[in-house]
């Protein structure tokens, strides 16, 4: 495996609305030290991949408004390595942009595409799976994703149903993909677990640049053509002007729906490396240390009384006294206080919309 031809694309364009009010459009969750470890999720993701990819081969795709934030948090990158999207168009245009920018530089590239805001607890196992996956895609023109063995009937994740096991190149955890399924209800999620045929969809992909280029040309030809026109602009001062026009012509479509669900050369490498997509306050609660009453607490002046199974996130130095809560989220920022039931956290996006509407009416 030629390290010089290995590239990593980190997707960091989300606005993280489900982690409001800690995460805002001005500073989304990928730029926040949400785990309390001294580094943002983006920095943790970069450090993880930098162990097997040279810094110059790591690209970050983000919104134009977050360009300076990326460069501030990742001084190892040059401005050319930060691919800025002028509009939110989901993951397919993001992948197409990165693919064509890489192919413009290295036609034999092998690429990992990963979100910027995931938690990986067993990093050594994860990196070994990435290495195995890249060895496989280097030799085979396939589209590979990573699947996670489910530990509970989770309704917040997508699922991958596997077909036959592929006894290929001594990969005992490699399968053909049979189907992709979006977030199921609890009954269906339990059925998925019981069959043993379903794995969580991590949203992490590995492929050669030739394989994904061919897939884009076959399944998303319009999107592919848009970014093919940019070869004379990539890595120049005119790239930003080209991209602004390109994104205005792109549909809003995910790479899963646009390609992975349609292609016949899709495989999944199934493993367990302590993964969470940290998509909700509830998932953060599950992966944070808790006290004897199952409370996850951020802040150095928080006093709890008769409070259980709750998330309390206060700014350092702010005193909070909480009594009598069971299963609640309490988050305080400079000018916002959120108190809601953990079971109702799916309403947070609506809360954000209502707050923004109220602000507009002032």
β-pair partners for 50: none
Residue (of 225, 215, 213, 226) closest to 259 by Cα position: 215
Q: Provide the token pair at 327.
A: 């299963």
pLDDT score at 204: 96
Strands in the chain per DSSP E = 6-11, 58-63, 82-85, 110-115, 119-120, 143-148, 159-165, 174-181, 198-208, 266-271, 275-276, 296-298, 302-305, 311-313, 320-323, 328-332, 337-341
Task: Answer whether residue 177 shows pLDDT above 80.
Answer: yes
The structural domains of the chain, ordered by start, are 6-141+203-265 (3.90.550.10), 281-360 (no CATH)
| pLDDT of residue 320 exceeding 80 | yes
Print burial letters for 299-308: b (CB count within 10 Å at least 16), e (below 16). Answer: beebebeebe
Structure tokens at 131: 């290495």
CB atoms within 10 A of CB 66: 26
pLDDT band at 317 (very low <50, low <70, confident <90, very high): confident
pLDDT exceeds 90 at position 194: no
Residue 165 has pLDDT above 90, yes or no: no
Q: How far is CA 233 from CA 167, 221, 269, 314, in A?
A: 43, 20, 36, 46
Considering Cα of 131, then 114, then 149, then 192, what sign does the dihedral take? negative
The confidence score (pLDDT) of residue 82 equals 97
Q: How confident is the model at residue 169 (pLDDT cuts 50, 70, 90)?
A: low
Binning pLDDT at 50, 70 and 90, where does residue 168 land?
Answer: low
Sheet holding 328-332, edge to edge: 296-298, 311-313, 328-332, 337-341
Tokens 């956290």 correspond to: 345
- pLDDT of residue 2 exceeding 60: no
Measure CA of the first residue to CA of the last residue in the chain; give whole Å.
Answer: 58
Asked whether the bond before 21 is cis by omega within 30 degrees of 0, the reply is: yes
Structure confidence at residue 170 as a pLDDT band (50, 70, 90): low
C-alpha torsion sign, points 206, 210, 211, 212: positive
Rounding to the nearest 10 degrees, give the CA dihedral for residues 284, 186, 345, 359. 120
Alpha carbon distance 46, 280 (integer Å):
22
Specify the pLDDT at position 45: 97
User: What pLDDT band is residue 173 in, cutting at 50, 70 and 90?
Assistant: confident
Over range 196-221, report the average pLDDT. Answer: 95
CB 304 within 8 A of CB 334: no
- Using pLDDT thresholds of 50, 70 and 90, give the confidence band for residue 14: confident
Average pLDDT over residues 294-319: 94
pLDDT in tens, 237-278: 999 999 999 999 999 999 999 999 999 999 999 988 988 888
And the tokens for 317? 């130095």
- What is the widest separation between alpha-carbon atoms in the chain? 64
Higher pLDDT, 51 or 183: 51
* Beta-ladder partners of 268: 145, 175
Q: Which two tokens stand for residue 159?
A: 């699922």
64 pLDDT exceeds 70? yes
Q: Output the average pLDDT for the chain.
A: 92
The answer to whether 280 and 16 have CB atoms below 8 angstroms apart is no
3-class state of residue 99 by DSSP = helix
- Please report which confidence band the pLDDT of residue 3 belongs to, taking 50, 70 and 90 as the band edges: low
- Distances in Å between the Cα of 295 and the Cα atoms of 166, 282, 308, 327 are 43, 11, 6, 9
- Name the DSSP class of 307: -
Burial class (CB in 10 A: 0-12, 13-18, 19+), 135: middle
Judged against a pLDDT cut of 70, whether residue 81 lies above it is answered with yes
Q: What is the pLDDT of residues 95-148, one digit of tens each?
A: 999 999 999 899 999 999 999 999 999 999 999 999 999 999 999 999 999 999
Mean pLDDT of 292-311: 95
CA dist 344 and 140 (Å) reads: 45
């Amino acid at each position: 495996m030629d390290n010089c031809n290995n590239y990593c694309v980190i997707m960091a364009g989300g606005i993280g609305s489900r982690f409001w009010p800690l995460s805002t459009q001005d500073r989304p969750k990928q730029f926040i030290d949400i785990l309390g470890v001294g580094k943002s999720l983006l920095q943790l993701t970069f450090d993880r991949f930098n162990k097997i990819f040279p810094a110059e081969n790591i690209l970050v795709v983000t919104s134009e408004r977050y360009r300076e934030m990326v460069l501030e948090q990742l001084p190892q990158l040059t401005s050319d390595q930060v691919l800025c999207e002028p509009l939110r168009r989901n993951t397919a245009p993001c992948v197409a942009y990165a693919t064509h920018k890489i192919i413009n530089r290295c036609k034999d590239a092998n690429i990992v595409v990963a979100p910027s805001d995931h938690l990986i607890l067993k990093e050594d196992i994860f990196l070994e799976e990435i290495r195995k996956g890249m060895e496989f895609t280097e030799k085979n023109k396939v589209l590979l994703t990573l699947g996670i063995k489910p530990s509970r009937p989770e309704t917040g994740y997508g699922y991958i149903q596997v077909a036959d096991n592929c006894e290929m190149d001594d990969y005992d955890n490699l399968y053909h993909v049979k189907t992709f399924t979006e977030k199921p209800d609890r009954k269906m999620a339990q059925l998925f677990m019981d069959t043993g045929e379903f794995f969580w969809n991590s949203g992490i992909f590995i492929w050669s640049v030739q394989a994904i280029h061919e897939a884009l040309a076959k399944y998303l030809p319009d999107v592919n053509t848009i970014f093919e026109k940019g070869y004379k602009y990539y890595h120049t001062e005119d790239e930003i002007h080209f991209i602004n026009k390109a994104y205005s012509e792109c549909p809003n479509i995910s790479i899963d729906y646009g390609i992975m669900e349609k292609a016949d050369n899709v495989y999944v490498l199934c493993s367990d490396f302590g993964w969470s997509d940290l998509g909700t306050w509830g998932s953060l609660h599950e992966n944070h240390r808790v006290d004897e009453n199952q409370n996850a607490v951020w802040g150095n002046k928080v006093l709890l009384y008769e409070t259980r199974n709750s998330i309390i996130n206060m700014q350092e130095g702010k005193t909070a006294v909480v009594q009598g809560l069971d299963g609640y989220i309490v988050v305080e920022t400079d000018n916002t206080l959120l108190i809601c039931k953990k079971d109702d956290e799916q309403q947070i996006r609506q809360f954000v919309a209502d707050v923004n509407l109220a602000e507009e009416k002032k």
